[in-house]
């Protein structure tokens, strides 16, 4: 794992955006694996600026997102479909049928397998952007998830529901299940960038950087087995290392 340490969230976002836009320029039909949450918001903002100022085009790009809540309509303002549209897709020239997210209204085993098949049919993910949960979850792969499985339905832990409650009117409105790419799916990506910002992530980043072998109790540890992982973390996220 390669670490890029930066001063703050702005610098982290700019670095991640530069890596992504460089790939999009070099490979205009690349497949981007995208993440949601607070951490990537400014990365998307920087990519939108780059699209507007430098004309980086997404007209042949496909995107596949990591996860979506179960039982939430894609039009719901709290869905990850809405997040991606409002933070990124509506500002760039990507055709809607080239943006793919798990459908939270089809949480079946067959549907999950079809999401993995879709990724394979696109030629696999060239670059996967990841955040990290405080308990080390990536996507919605909670501690205890086998590190080899594909897309599946998960029950969210109380701490993850609590962490995401800030986007809902109250905790009871946060879904208790999600569909997520599995760690096995994520590890098939050719390149992975994990971004982390703020002191809330310091313990998770410390554990990740200390990892020498994959461990089910800390899902992000699976990344040590991948040959091309870059972690971009700011001073606060690195404050316990």
Q: Which two tokens stand for residue 237?
A: 């996220």
Shortest reach from residue 222's CB to ligand GLP, in Å: 14
The string over 98-122, giving b where at least 16 C-beta atoms fall within 10 Å of a residue's C-beta and e elsewhere, is bbbbbbbeebeeeebeebbeebeeb
- In the bound state with ligand GLP, the residue whose beta carbon lies nearer, of 14 and 164, is 164
**CB of residue 30 to ligand GLP, shortest distance in Å:** 20
Question: Using an 8 Å Cβ cutoff, are 84 and 69 in contact?
Answer: no
- How many residues form the binding site for ligand GLP (CB under 6 A)? 14
Active site residue 137: yes
Among 19, 23, 66, 205, binds ligand GLP (CB under 6 A): 66
- From the list 65, 81, 116, 135, the catalytic residue is 135
Position among 102, 104, 133, 184 found at the interface with ligand GLP (CB under 6 A)? 133
Tell whether residue 140 is a contact of ligand GLP (CB under 6 A).
yes
Q: Which of these ranges, 97-105, 133-141, 207-215, 225-233, lies near ligand GLP under the rule CB under 6 A?
A: 133-141
- Judged by CB under 6 A, does residue 139 bind ligand GLP? yes
Site stretch for ligand GLP (CB under 6 A), options 5-13, 34-42, 116-124, 218-226 = 34-42
| Closest CB to ligand GLP among residues 56, 237 | 237
- Which one of 6, 19, 20, 37 is in contact with ligand GLP (CB under 6 A)? 37
142 catalytic residue (yes or no): yes
Q: Which run of H or E residues covers position 212? A: none
Q: Any catalytic annotation for residue 105? A: no
**Within 10 Å of residue 27's Cβ, how many Cβ atoms?**
13
Q: How far is the CB of 80 from ligand GLP (least distance, A)?
A: 8
Nearest to 102 by CA among 153, 49, 164: 153
Q: Is 152 a catalytic residue?
A: no
**Catalytic residue selected from 142, 152, 164, 234:** 142
> Residues 186, 59, 95, CA angle at the centre, nearest 5°?
80
Residue 101 interacts with ligand GLP (CB under 6 A)? no
Which is catalytic among the residues 50, 67, 68, 116? 67
Residues 6+ positions from 217 with CB-CB distance below 8 Å: 136, 143, 144
Ordered DSSP codes for 66-133: SEEETT--TTSTTSHHHHHHHHTGGGS---GGGEE---TT--SHHHHHHHHHHHHHTT--SEEEE---
Residues 156-195 that bind ligand GLP (CB under 6 A): 160, 164
The answer for residues whose C-beta is within 8 angstroms of residue 145's C-beta and 6 or more apart is 154, 182, 183, 216, 219
For the annotated catalytic residues, the residue numbers are 67, 135, 137, 142
Residues that bind ligand GLP (CB under 6 A): 35-39, 66-67, 131-133, 139-140, 160, 164
């Amino acid at each position: 794992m390669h670490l890029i340490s930066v001063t703050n969230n702005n610098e982290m976002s700019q670095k991640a955006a530069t890596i992504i836009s460089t790939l999009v320029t070099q490979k205009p039909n690349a497949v981007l694996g995208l993440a949601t949450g607070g951490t990537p918001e400014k990365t998307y903002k920087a990519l939108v600026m780059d699209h507007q100022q430098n004309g980086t085009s997404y007209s042949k790009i496909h995107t596949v997102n990591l996860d979506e809540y179960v039982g939430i309509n894609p039009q719901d303002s709290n869905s990850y479909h809405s997040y991606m549209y409002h933070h990124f897709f509506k500002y760039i020239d990507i055709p809607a049928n080239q943006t793919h997210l798990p459908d939270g209204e089809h949480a079946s085993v067959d549907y999950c397998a079809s999401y993995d098949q879709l990724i394979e049919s696109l030629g696999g993910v060239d670059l996967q952007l990841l955040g990290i949960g405080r308990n080390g979850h990536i996507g919605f792969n909670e501690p205890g998830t086998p590190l080899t499985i594909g897309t599946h339905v998960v029950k969210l832990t109380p701490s993850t529901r609590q962490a995401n409650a800030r986007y809902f009117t109250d905790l009871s409105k946060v879904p208790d299940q999600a569909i997520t790419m599995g760690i096995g799916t994520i590890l098939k990506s050719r390149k992975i960038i994990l971004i982390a910002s703020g002191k809330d992530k310091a313990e998770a980043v410390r554990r990740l950087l200390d990892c020498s072998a994959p461990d089910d109790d800390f899902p992000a540890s699976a990344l040590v087995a991948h040959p091309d992982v870059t972690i971009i973390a700011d001073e606060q996220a690195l404050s316990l290392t």
